Amino acid sequence: MAAVMAMPDVEAAAQRLGINLSSVDLDDIRLPPGDDFGIPSDDDEDLLAREELEFESGFGNVVVVDNLPVVPPEKFEKLENVVRKIYSQIGVIKEDGFWMPTNLETRKTLGYCFIEYNTPQEAELAREKTNGYKLDKSHIFAVNLFDDFDKFMKVPDQWTPAEIKPYVPVVSKRSISRQDQYVICAGQETEVLWNDARQLKPELVYRRSQWTESFVQWSPLGTYLATMHRQGVAIWGGGSTFNRIMRYAHALVRLIDFSPGERYLVTYSSHEPNGPRDTHRVVLNIFDTRTGKVMRDFKGNADEFMTGTAGGVSGVSWPVFRWGGGKDDKYFARIGKNVISVYETETFSLVDKKSMKVENVVDFCWSPADPILALFVPELGGGNQPARVSLVQIPGKEELRQKNLFSVSDCKMYWQSNGEYLAVKVDRYTKTKKSTYTGFELFRIKERDIPIEVLELENKNDKIVAFAWEPKGHRFAVIHGDNPRPDISFYSMRTTHNSGRVSKLTTLKGKQANALYWSPAGRFVILAGLKGFNGQLEFYNVDELETMATAEHFMATDIEWDPTGRYVATSVTSVHEMENGFNIWSFNGKLLYRIPRDHFRQFLWRPRPPSLLSTEKEEEISKNLKKYSKKYEAEDQDVSLLLSEQDREKRKMLKDEWERWVKEWKRLYDEEKAERRRLRDGEASDEEEEYEAKEVEVEEILDSVEEVVP
């Protein structure tokens, strides 16, 4: 290879040989093959770099399906068709991609098969969706990826115990605090805050811009905060710093619903038809909250999900699936045409492999505490077949109680939060069929044979505006009347002698209210006048049957109690263009603080997990509340003293800062005194008394007019 020459040496050699370099076309120069004269070309870098070829290794697109039936040759084809039908719904099986080995001697199948898909993603999806699939009672599929067998083969023969790390309890402020958190959405900002009632202001926990594309939602026990995105749903957790825990892929998701025990998440999306022959389709996925795995999906026309009376989106009743059986998340159900489909979460299949047939059923609801369904069937045949409300025990589908109802116009069911009572509001036609009147059928679920009691208002023609049970209690309230100021009546399912008869406690006449909001702890209720009543609020004590306070939150749209029942939030969302923001009140109607926010759209208290105390322990604490309260009163006093000390320190700091500022300016003022004297020609006029006041009159001609008078 020739020696490398520097450019000045090249120019000197060209001048010595009489060559004009500016006239030389470098593109016409041809170097000897294989010789670059020590100057590699930039264009050759891609050629010099050797690209490593990627070869697909392993069998990631192959699944092994075990626990198949062992069949003779004559049933081989039938079994193959069944298995192919199941797995071809998930992805495309390769040509010659199905192999079910047989015993050479008996020619029977060996109880497993190999299925090869086009892509590893299809194989992974097949494993997720069919592992545990129940073909029949004796054959439940065990599905693995072929590549997983390498991992299984590397398991050591000798067992070694896992290293047990000592448990370090994680104590967050939320776990020890008597404060509660809430989340708000305003514009593009989402914030989680502590409700600091002592300081009369919120304390910021976490803020994030564009955290969600539509809304946020707490899980029922407050463990997770869900955010909505075009690609799906994300859940976040923590007490002070919110970290993403899991993502659930569901394109264009619009609605979500957690199961009561937070084990599962239901997501919903609707897809408009692409052409005149297409239909409006609905997709629902049920995810395992902890693993993110799709346990089951439901797809179909929107018409299939429109049956029922609950509110929803685009005509679809929401939630489509209603959870039952308490917080065990054991059952969920949906209503269809003439059927109620009840599923069990152990296999995510129908209970007894079939839906429950109920002709013309229009509504149902679960007991909050037990696997009991309450369902309503309207009248049929022009009244020849009466309407009925039935209570059905799951999973046995045994009818516990039935009540026939006549001349029914409409019916609505309300469960008490402990599942002890069920109230059925029945609108009935009068004899002339020209008007209706309302009564209540009250079921005592926990009593023998489930007795039913009929309750009618004193004025049967009163319109029922609102009904609400006292949480965990035995009382309920009804707003009734056709006047602009309706009446509010309170009833109890227990009487003084506990005779099992409903009794009226009191009736409040002419109230500006159209909604009822019970405290989660019972006893207190807010009689709210929303919409047309412009946010009238009355804080009422049902134990004492007295009004504690009246107030107003102008144009309020939403009211929500905190989980403890100590505080309540009222808010004005962006459905109104003005007065957006929220107020925090004490349970007895004292306004604690007001937070205005433009484009305010959501306020949600963070739910608290259930108490770990037994019912007996809670009752014992209630009886000895004064003894326990002394401890917390002392803590409150310490906190108050600390806050007072902090306030004094803050005031002292502000005073010291002011005095430093005054001292600095006085120093500068004194330093400039000589300069001021010089500018004033030796006059020292800093002191007020050295000034001499003089009056000076100045005359100024503003205008003059000359007129010639004849």
User: Which domains does the chain possess?
Assistant: 62-154 (3.30.70.330)
Task: At 472, list the tokens.
Answer: 């965990």
Sign for the pseudo-dihedral over CA of 70, 72, 74, 80? positive
Average pLDDT for the chain: 84
Confidence band (pLDDT; 50, 70, 90) for 51? very low
The C-alpha atoms of residue 220 and residue 607 are separated, in whole angstroms, by 6
The per-residue pLDDT for 468 is 95
CB-hemisphere CA count at 13 Å for 539?
Answer: 22
Query: Taking CA 299 as the corner, what is the angle to CA 362 and CA 369, rounded to the nearest 5 degrees?
Result: 50
Using the predicted structure, report yes or no on whether residue 487 has a pLDDT greater than 70: yes
Under the phi-then-psi rule, with left for phi > 0, alpha for psi from -120 to 50, and beta for the rest, what region is 11?
Answer: alpha
Confidence band (pLDDT; 50, 70, 90) for 36? low
Using the predicted structure, report yes or no on whether residue 467 has a pLDDT greater than 90: yes
More confident residue, 611 or 195: 195
The C-alpha atoms of residue 575 and residue 597 are separated, in whole angstroms, by 13
Task: At 709, list the tokens.
Answer: 């008078």
The per-residue pLDDT for 72 is 94
314-323, 444-453, 681-690, range with the lowest pLDDT? 681-690
Task: At 412, list the tokens.
Answer: 């609505």
State the average pLDDT over residues 529-541.
Answer: 90
Angle separating helix axes 615-623 and 625-671, nearest 10 degrees = 70
DSSP character at residue 496: T
Cβ-based burial of 471 (10 A; exposed 0-12, middle 13-18, buried ≥19) = middle
Q: Which residues pair with 604 in a beta bridge?
A: 183
Confidence band (pLDDT; 50, 70, 90) for 33? low
Angle separating helix axes 120-130 and 76-88, nearest 10 degrees = 110
Find, among 292, 223, 232, the residue nearest to 256 by Cα: 232
Sign for the pseudo-dihedral over CA of 640, 641, 644, 650? negative
Q: Could you give phi then psi for residue 657, rounded to 5 degrees?
A: -65, -40
- Please give the share of the chain, as a percent, with pLDDT higher than 70: 85
60-64, 125-129, 138-142, 474-478, range with the lowest pLDDT? 125-129
State the average pLDDT over residues 142-149.
Answer: 88
Find, among 320, 322, 328, 344, the residue nearest to 397 by Cα: 344
Contact by Cβ (8 Å): 513, 531: no
The C-alpha atoms of residue 157 and residue 152 are separated, in whole angstroms, by 11
The per-residue pLDDT for 626 is 79
Confidence band (pLDDT; 50, 70, 90) for 498? low
- pLDDT tens by residue, 200-252: 889 999 999 999 999 999 999 999 999 999 999 999 998 888 999 999 999 89
Which residues neighbour 602 within 8 Å (Cβ) at sequence distance 6 or greater? Answer: 183, 184, 185, 215, 216, 573
Sign for the pseudo-dihedral over CA of 73, 77, 82, 85? positive
